[in-house]
Amino acid sequence: MPLVVCPTPIGNLEDVTLRVLRELGEADAVLCEDTRRTRVLLDRHGVAARALVSYHRHNEEARIRELLPRLEAGERLALASDAGLPGVNDPGARLIAAALERGLEVTVLPGPSAVETALVASGLVGERFAFLGYLPRRAAERERLWDELAGWTWPAVAFESPRRLPASLASLAAADPERPVAVCRELTKRFEEVVRGTVAEVSARFAEPPKGEITVVIGAAAQAGADDADGAAAVAELVAAGLPRRRAADLVARLTGVPRNALYRDSLDEPTRRPT
């Protein structure tokens, strides 16, 4: 019998599939990130689960030792997080990996996803996208991420806490103020809000921490123009001369007015010319 991974609504309790409800009701036990949250969902749809077992990041290791023998003995266990797909920035990935390593069956059901919902709602969909998880907490780590994103010509989706959102947006605005972005707040809930614009515009809108769950979509980096290409070549030459790339990009940006992140990104594609 398998471990069944059950996505649950990211907000609106009606956003659950019939198959998920059936599995939650038929499983020998439902593994819950928070039993109270799962019980609200079950009660809303009149599902009587056989047993609810807490499974969260603080007891995950101990629970895995308890649950693997139950799966091997033939029990059917349903794994549910508070919202969305278990294992994606939520507990569950370690149990799934352990079950697969033991040769046990794992079935993943389709369902709600804040990542894909936000991406489509943002209007910034490309041929592909990247998922970043939660944005870095430390300022230096965020700056390194912005430098990395400067070379991406596809959108990226990230989670962020309401408390840290203003600082993260301000940091990105300092690096690339014209980059398109969308902040998706309280998706599928009564007060759902999607704020779109340049990073500079959206950062000004969220100067204070908002309320609710936050998903951020960062649009693709702009393609280089003629001035950008000349500036990128200058950055590459300074790097070849021994100057750190970020310092070179800062210097050329001040001289040309081309955004630092664009220079940093485009200089990565320039051939390195060692001084002779």
CATH number where 51 lies:
3.40.1010.10
Distance CA(219)–CA(153), nearest Å, equals 8
DSSP string, the chain: --EEE--B-SS-TT---HHHHHHHHHSSEEEESSHHHHHHHHHHTT---S-EEE--TTTHHHHHHHHHHHHHTT--EEEE-SSB-TTSSSTTHHHHHHHHHTT--EEE-----HHHHHHHHHT---S--EEEEEPPSSHHHHHHHHHHHTT--S-EEEEE-TTTHHHHHHHHHHH-TTSEEEEEESTTSTT-EEEEEEHHHHHHHTSS--SS-EEEEEPPPPPP-HHHHHHHHHHHHHHHTT--HHHHHHHHHHHH---HHHHHHHHTTSPP----
The two three-digit tokens of residue 176, written as one number = 């690339």
Are 7 and 64 in a shared domain?
yes
Are 212 and 234 in a shared domain?
no
Are 125 and 86 in a shared domain?
no
Q: Which residue segment(s) compose the domain that 34 sits in?
A: 3-108
Are 103 and 186 in a shared domain?
no
- 234 occurs within a structural domain: yes
pTM score above 0.85: no
Are 211 and 246 in a shared domain?
no
Domain boundary among 72, 93, 108: 108
Distance CA(14)–CA(41), nearest Å, equals 9
Per-residue pLDDT in tens (0 to 9) along the chain, 276 residues: 699 999 999 999 999 999 999 999 999 999 999 999 999 999 999 999 999 999 999 999 999 999 999 999 999 999 999 999 999 888 999 999 999 999 999 999 999 999 999 999 999 998 899 999 999 999 999 999 999 998 888 999 999 999 999 999 999 999 999 999 999 999 999 999 999 999 999 999 999 999 999 999 999 987 655 466 777 788 888 888 788 888 888 788 776 767 777 778 777 766 655 444
Distance CA(193)–CA(251), nearest Å, equals 39
Domain boundary among 55, 74, 108: 108
